[in-house]
Amino acid sequence: MSKRKYNNILILALFAFYIIYYKIFISASKLEYSEFINVAVIAIISFIAVLLLGYRKDRINDTKKSILKTVLTDIVIFLIVSYALGTVTGFTTNENNYELSMIIKNIFAPICYIGVIELFRYVTVNANSDKKITVYLITAVIILLELAMNLNGVLMYNFETTFRAISMIVLPIIIKNATLSYLAIYGGLKSTILYRLILDLYAYILPAIPNLGDYITSVIGVLLPTMVYIHSSRIVDNANSIEILDAEDDKKSKKKINISDIIVTIIIILLVGLISGYFKFAIIGVGSGSMSPEIEKGDAVVYKKIKNKEELKVNDILVFQSGNKIVIHRLVEIKNSGGKTYYITKGDANNGRDGLNLTLENIKGKVMFKIKYLAYPNLFLKDLVDKE
């Protein structure tokens, strides 16, 4: 085993051990100074990484300058678009105290965290830029730590709230950190710190925040780092290219890239839109076998939202609210009583009816089709949360 490989294993093991310690002790006990404990431990691990792997000076070149400008441009566009949308959706008043001393107090710990985590990322990924698997592992442990930090206290008591946590927290954190690791290699430490300082801290400083809602916030949380990656990778590709394309080939190449950008953007928007329930159709995972064999545990169903009772008929499979749970059962009877219409449901695998008199207000929609096995990752995450 080479010395570098041994050092990488040691660093990753230290970081993984701290994630477990953080989740079991620091996060669970909700210590008053947990943020500073977090910063101190990551600073120590970063210092060990520098000792073992060395520190590659962040020398500025034309490529890094271009990437830095691109990152700043994308962030400025994001802020302009967000606040422009806020004029339509409204704004939320920031509850933070705006005395200078309080602003400093509120942002001091986040600034320290950004500094040490991005130093750790920069040192480790640049020392292993020729080893993709190691870079993936480094990115993965940072993602796990940030998930542990951000999912603490998030309730996932049914599939709707679990999907919401995935679209609002999990997916943006994964894509953001993948982009930051790419920036750390090709854009340098300044690019990653600039990205995080602005996006992580603007909510602490500005007096009003756009109230964009779950759907738009999710889309932006996924779309912004995706676009930063696409724009940065183009700069890197252009810098590394040794072939000179003629004008016609160059136009074709640009067209292909633009088409791919559009496709990626559309897929992301549709996925988050379905998960968030913003569209006429929505998607939800199945967490039990009560509709077996028609719909199995771990499947996902796409359902159409219902607005009037004429859209419902016996034998439809409904998605409805029962207490704090979302249930997917078959409609077996429609009855009228006292001038009101009630809907009776039953799980295909259950012996008896649900014993609920549902009204139209309880019904979220009716199932249009299922997607086999799609919700298994969601089940796995929910089981992990339930065990804690």
Residue-level pLDDT at 116: 96
Work out the pLDDT band at 244, boundaries 50, 70, 90.
very low
Percent of the chain that is helix, strand, coil (3-state, to 5): 65, 15, 25
Residue-level pLDDT at 377: 67
DSSP character string of 94-117: --S--SHHHHHHHHHHHHHHHHHH
Mean pLDDT in residue range 221-248: 76
How would you classify the pairing of strands 91-93 and 325-337? unpaired
Sign of CA dihedral 83, 89, 90, 96: negative
Q: Which is more confidently placed, 305 or 165?
A: 305
Residue-level pLDDT at 70: 93
In this model, does residue 332 exceed pLDDT 80?
Answer: yes
Residue-level pLDDT at 132: 92
Residue-level pLDDT at 281: 79
Work out the pLDDT band at 248, boundaries 50, 70, 90.
very low
Percentage of the chain modeled with pLDDT above 90? 42
Rounded Cα gap, residues 189 and 119, in angstroms? 7
Q: Domains for the chain: give ranges and CATH numbers.
A: 3-276 (no CATH), 281-379 (2.10.109.10)
Q: Is the peptide bond before 293 cis (omega within 30 degrees of 0)?
A: yes
Residue-level pLDDT at 162: 72
Rounded Cα gap, residues 7 and 4, in angstroms? 5
Question: If you search the block for the tokens 């199995």, which residue do you land on?
Answer: 296
Mean pLDDT in residue range 222-240: 88
Residue-level pLDDT at 382: 59
Residue-level pLDDT at 88: 64
Render pLDDT for 10-51 as a digit per residue (tens, 0 to 9).
999 999 999 998 888 887 666 667 888 899 999 999 999 999
Work out the pLDDT band at 156, boundaries 50, 70, 90.
low
